[in-house]
Amino acid sequence: MLLLPACLLFSPLAAQDSVPGGALTVAPVARFHARRGQTVDVKLSAKVAPGYHVNSDAPDDPYLIPLRLTWDKPVLEPAATRFPAPQRVKVAFSDKPVAIFSGAFDIVVTFRAPANVADMGVMSGKLRYQACNDRECLQPKVVPIRLSFDATN
């Protein structure tokens, strides 16, 4: 009889995401084609949940967590990553406007295909973001990115 309340009292409560599916999602990318020795642009279409925003890739305030795209053991060389121009908004907690993304936006990644790249492959990456709304901020999260490609000369 005494054990049940004690268990309830001490059992940690499981964490749940405040926004089911995450505050930022990235649409699946169709298989793309790369030519060996040349570059190819790949567009990632991101969407921020209504009411939320994420910090841009360069949020100005050093304490804010930027949007970051990284690749794990890339078989194609990531040559450049282009984020859109952020929205700059004035907020109460910062002297400077804060650079954010909200709604839908695209990130364009330029890959260079090495001369010896295999005929097909997969690029795995992570898009790390930190989202807030007007009342609260969510813990930083990561969206896994997976890109499949074919390569020819």
Beta bridge partners of 87: 100
Site for another protein in 106-135 (CB under 8 A): 130, 132-135
Contact in structure between 127 and 51 (CB atoms under 8 Å):
no
- Which DSSP symbol is given to 62? T
Q: Is 74 helix (H, G, I), strand (E, B) or coil?
A: coil
Cα gap 58→66, rounded to integer Å = 6
Q: Which is nearer to another protein, 92 or 115 (CB)?
A: 92
Structure tokens at 42: 């790949």
Residues 72-91 as x/- pattern, contact with another protein by CB under 8 A: ---------------x-xxx
Q: Which is nearer to another protein, 73 or 135 (CB)?
A: 135
Residues 38-67 as x/- pattern, contact with another protein by CB under 8 A: -----------xxxxx---------xxx--
The H-or-E segment that residue 112 falls in is: strand 104-112
Is 27 an interacting residue with respect to another protein (CB under 8 A)? no
Is 92 an interacting residue with respect to another protein (CB under 8 A)? yes
Considering only 8-16, 67-75, 118-126, 142-150, which stretch makes contact with another protein by CB under 8 A?
Answer: 8-16
- The minimum distance between CB 79 and another protein, in angstroms, equals 29
Exactly one of 15, 30, 85, 115 binds another protein (CB under 8 A); that residue is 15
Q: How many CB atoms lie within 10 A of CB 107?
A: 20
Residue from 50, 74, 96 nearest 146 by CA: 74
Q: Is 54 helix (H, G, I), strand (E, B) or coil?
A: strand
Residue ranges binding another protein (CB under 8 A): 9-10, 12-18, 49-53, 63-65, 87, 89-94, 98, 100, 102-103, 130, 132-140
